[in-house]
Amino acid sequence: MQNNITGSTPFQAHRLHLEVLQEKYGDIQLTILRQDESAREALFTDGLGIARTYSISTRNKEWKINEEITALNWLIQDGAPIGTTFRDNGFEFRRNLLDVYIISLTPWLRRKFATTETFAKAYNIEFIIKKGDLVFNYAMITDICSPELQGPVITEYDTSEINFSFHALQASGFTRNEIWSLLENEDNLPLTSRLPSERQIAEAFIESVL
């Protein structure tokens, strides 16, 4: 299904967002606005100094048992891009879309985006990584796209790309590798037939916060 907003770039689970921006705008600079052990706030800016995406990443802790991922995380904390750091070190990745919605832009973001638009499209994404038999949910990422990159309209294509969360699938009995297989092939009938209902999702969420 094609995105029906002229000029918009559809969500792509198998591609790095940085690559999508580079394809459209050329050179892209990652500017870290704030970062600590658990979170990063950043802008992706083109050669004209116009921000194309405002991104907030919140890292999980489950992967800290893995020495290689922990070492790569130090590079990321030093300012390296998340996606290319893992990909260039032999990891596969999937960007698992959890939600897409419209937000009101602050004056600061309107200036950074060089736009008069007052609304923008935002995505909540899990960044899932895999190497060998290891599968981890590295971080939750919220990307707010400039209106020029993504028109502030939610399309049928957008909603069709929304998936269950990594945690919800684990709580429903899926192993990490089964979750990866499901993200890799949404037509995998033996796995899709086991997908949880909305009630099961709600019960798993309630259990996780009690």
CATH number for the domain that contains residue 128 = 3.40.1410.10
Residue 10 counted as domain residue: no
More confident site: 61 or 40: 40
Same domain (yes/no): 40, 102: yes
Domain C-terminal end among 128, 147, 163: 163
pLDDT-derived band at 4 (thresholds 50, 70, 90) equals very low
Q: Are residues 138 and 99 in the same domain?
A: yes
If asked whether residues 124 and 62 sit together in one domain, one would say: yes
- Residue 149 shares a structural domain with residue 87: yes
Confidence at 11, pLDDT banded by 50, 70, 90: confident
- Nearest to 143, CA basis, from 110, 103, 179, 183: 103
12 assigned to some structural domain = no
Residues 147 and 173 reside in one and the same domain: no
Q: In this structure, are 95 and 125 located in the same domain?
A: yes
Q: What is the mean pLDDT of residues 158-184?
A: 88
Kindly give the pairing relationship between strand 119-131 and strand 92-104: antiparallel
Instruction: Pick the more confident residue, 15 or 192.
Output: 15
Q: How far apart, in whole angstroms, are the C-alpha atoms of residue 164 and residue 18?
A: 24
- Across the range 60-76, mean pLDDT stands at 90
* pLDDT (0 to 100) of residue 46: 97
Of 151, 142, 141, 143, which is closest to residue 115 (Cα–Cα)?
151
* Residue 49 shares a structural domain with residue 87: yes
Q: What is the pLDDT of residue 194?
A: 62
Average pLDDT over residues 157-165: 87
Whether residue 179 sits in one domain with residue 118: no
Are residues 146 and 106 part of one domain? yes
Q: What is the mean pLDDT of residues 175-188?
A: 82
pTM (two decimals): 0.84
Residue 117 — pLDDT band, cuts 50, 70, 90? very high
Mean pLDDT of the chain: 86
Q: In this structure, is residue 11 part of a structural domain?
A: no
Residues of the chain with pLDDT > 90, as a percent, come to 63
In the chain, the number of structural domains is 2
Question: Domain for residue 142, yes or no?
Answer: yes
Residue 114, exposed/middle/buried by CB under 10 A (0-12, 13-18, 19+)? middle
Residue 182: which domain range? Answer: 164-210
178 and 154 together in one domain: no
